Structure 1
Amino acid sequence: MLKLIHMTDLHLTGNGELHFGHDTHETTRLALEHARTHFADASFLVITGDLANWGELTAYRKLEQLLRGFPLPIYLMIGNHDNRENFLTVFGDRHRFDAPFVQYWSDHGPYRLLFLDTQTAGTAGGAFGAYRLDWLDRRLSESPKPVLMFMHHHPTPTGAFAMDAKGVADWDAFHKILACHRGKIRHIFHGHCHTDMQGHVEGISFTGLRSMGSQVFPDLSTEMVSRWEGAPHYAVALVGDRSLVTHPQDFTYAGNVHTHARGQFADFARNCAQRGVNVPESDPEPVEIAS
């Protein structure tokens, strides 16, 4: 079983400026330390964009320092907040980018990993355009392996106006490619929305995560952006031959975690009986209904 770590939306700043009151540098440091401590057996870490909040070169230098010595392979991506030139100045030799775009692929064991570039000029939303869509279609067509896909923007409309106003302009064309390859794509991991998100598009499951800074409350009743004081998290995904499960990690939680031996069913039945509740010892027989 493949184990991977997914983080997103670090929103690091070059001068320590807070992100809606949140110290994203410290939060990212804590997340990386938690992952290092608890999931050093994972295969790799992916960070799906918005690495920097304003795209400063110094923010990417800070990220480089934070990642130094991390024990796993790390795959980096850009989001709408990132600056391509400054990102590539620091991380341009890190992956085999399909220049000038920050998109690339890597085969990892039985899986092909696809890292998409959805940033587009002049908007906080995303787009692929003809070249990137063709690149995606070719990478999917040529791979004999099942694919795990990573992108910054959410892969389909969510029903939340403020989120979808910053969505992907050519979703329909993207979805057509997904439909052609749905049997090969195991899952899509994304960021951008700053909220927990699960769903499927063209029969392909996807998950999105909270950020390392401010969190978005998915209020479907307003066109305004709604923020709340939700805790940051990252996720650990377990990918099996016929299953995929993601586990959010609330790494800033400071309360107690209580552990106890797993209860036995006989104890449950006895406790129910003491309260006058009968626990059946066999399943009910099906009842035939006359037509």
Structure 2
Amino acid sequence: MQTPAPGTLRILHLSDTHLTGDGALHQGTVDTTAALEALLDHLGAVDGVGLVVVSGDVSEDGSPESYATVRRLVGGWAARRGAAFVAVPGNHDQRAGFRRVLFDGHVLGEGGQELLHTMEHHDPSVPVRGRSLVAGRRVVTVDTSVPGAGYGEVGAAALEHLRTALAEPAPHGSVVVLHHPPLPAPTSLHDALKLRNPGELAAVLRDSDVRVVLAGHYHHHFAGSLAGVPVLVAPGVANDADVTGPYDEETALVGTGALVVDVAEDGLLWSTPVRVPRPDADQRALHLDAETSARIAADSGPA
């Protein structure tokens, strides 16, 4: 891959690692720790990464051990390259376990240096939120998870956090990281689990200095825009959603990927999807028929 131009912030965008504390296979098919290790090894030759992002569903079980694994693997990869490391919760994460290990999600700062945090107790009803400055870009994390549910929402507290963070322009603009994309869903199940209030998010982003919104959740690479701001959805580390099948079914294939996102000083943006070659790729990792998808949607979607 080409070396980023001077002044460009290169972001390694990971999502949906679905790590488990006890090593249990995700959906009974995928060793997500091994998948993450293989991905990071494959990305070892990518030069110039200044920021590593995990945009939610960091953990499958919410255990402190699973968050310790992502801090060791992803944080270690970032630190060795002098890169910052930021994560945000998704619908599978548990805020208590997340905060215990990853604090407000801003783990490493510019140059790969550990950021200092005070250990404060927060009720799980309080969204995880944070911001930091990396190479002149303000990085703002927004917690779209809803405890006990699979769908996403940018609540009043999260909206105010984002609005306050963006009140003054940053030297080279801002990057927003969240889990549920403010984009149309590819399947009926994900439609039930989508972000419920993209319009309210759009109102905060409009006319701001945000250069890009980085999201996950859909386990497949998507690109779109909201309020004129590019939105990039990373492939899943745990598996790859098959978005070409029937809308009312859900199928995931064995596959692991990421995005390499370059943000230039003038706001020019481009992204490169990266996929790990593997002999068992494109085998089904998950398939839910229409009836099962509808049941999960009814259980996990809004009342």
- Contact 1:159 1:220 (8 Å CA) reproduced: no
1:12 aligns with 2:37: no
SS in 2 for 1:86: helix
Equivalent residue runs for 1:95-134 within 5 Å? 100-134=126-160
- Contact 1:118 1:151 (8 Å CA) reproduced: yes
Q: Could you tell me which amino acid in structure 2 is paired with residue 91 of structure 1?
A: L
Equivalent residue runs for 1:77-156 within 5 Å? 77-92=88-103, 94=107, 100-145=126-171, 146-156=173-183
Q: 1:68 to 1:238 in 2, by over 3 A?
A: closer
1:62 aligns with 2:69: yes
- Contact 2:52 2:84 (8 Å CA) reproduced: yes
Q: 1:74 to 1:68 in 2, by over 3 A?
A: closer
Q: Could you tell me which amino acid in structure 1 is paired with residue 38 of structure 2?
A: L
SS in 2 for 1:245: strand
1:26 aligns with 2:34: yes
- Contact 1:150 1:188 (8 Å CA) reproduced: yes
Equivalent residue runs for 1:1-291 within 5 Å? 1-20=8-27, 21-35=29-43, 37-67=44-74, 69-70=76-77, 71=80, 72-92=83-103, 94=107, 100-145=126-171, 146-158=173-185, 160-181=187-208, 184-219=209-244, 221-224=246-249, 226-240=250-264, 241-253=266-278
Q: Could you tell me which amino acid in structure 1 is paired with residue 232 of structure 2?
A: T
- Residue by residue over 1:127-160, the C-alpha shift from the partner in whole angstroms, topping out at 9 and shown as x without a partner, is 1221211111111122344111111111233363
Larger Rg: 1
SS in 2 for 1:33: helix
Q: In 2, Cα distance between the equivalents of 1:57 and 1:158?
A: 30
SS in 2 for 1:89: helix
Give the corresponding residue for 1:261: none
- Contact 2:15 2:56 (8 Å CA) reproduced: yes
Q: In 2, Cα distance between the equivalents of 1:125 and 1:249?
A: 27
Offset of 1:79 from its aligned partner?
0.7
Q: Could you tell me which amino acid in structure 2 is paired with residue 27 of structure 1?
A: A
Please list every run of 5 or more consecutive structure 2 residues that lacks an aligned counterpart in the other structure: 1-7, 108-114, 280-303
Structure-2-length-normalised TM-score: 0.75
- Comparing 129-138 with 91-100, greater Cα deviation is found at 91-100
Q: In 2, Cα distance between the equivalents of 1:201 and 1:159?
A: 17
SS in 2 for 1:46: strand
- Comparing 46-55 with 102-111, greater Cα deviation is found at 102-111
Offset of 1:242 from its aligned partner?
4.0
Please list every run of 5 or more consecutive structure 1 residues that lacks an aligned counterpart in the other structure: 255-291
Give the corresponding residue for 2:290: none
Higher strand share: 2
Offset of 1:193 from its aligned partner?
0.6
- Residue by residue over 1:184-206, the C-alpha shift from the partner in whole angstroms, topping out at 9 and shown as x without a partner, is 22111110010110111221111
Q: 1:180 to 1:68 in 2, by over 3 A?
A: closer
Q: Alignment RMSD, CA only?
A: 2.4
Structure-1-length-normalised TM-score: 0.78
- Contact 1:49 1:191 (8 Å CA) reproduced: yes
SS in 1 for 2:206: helix
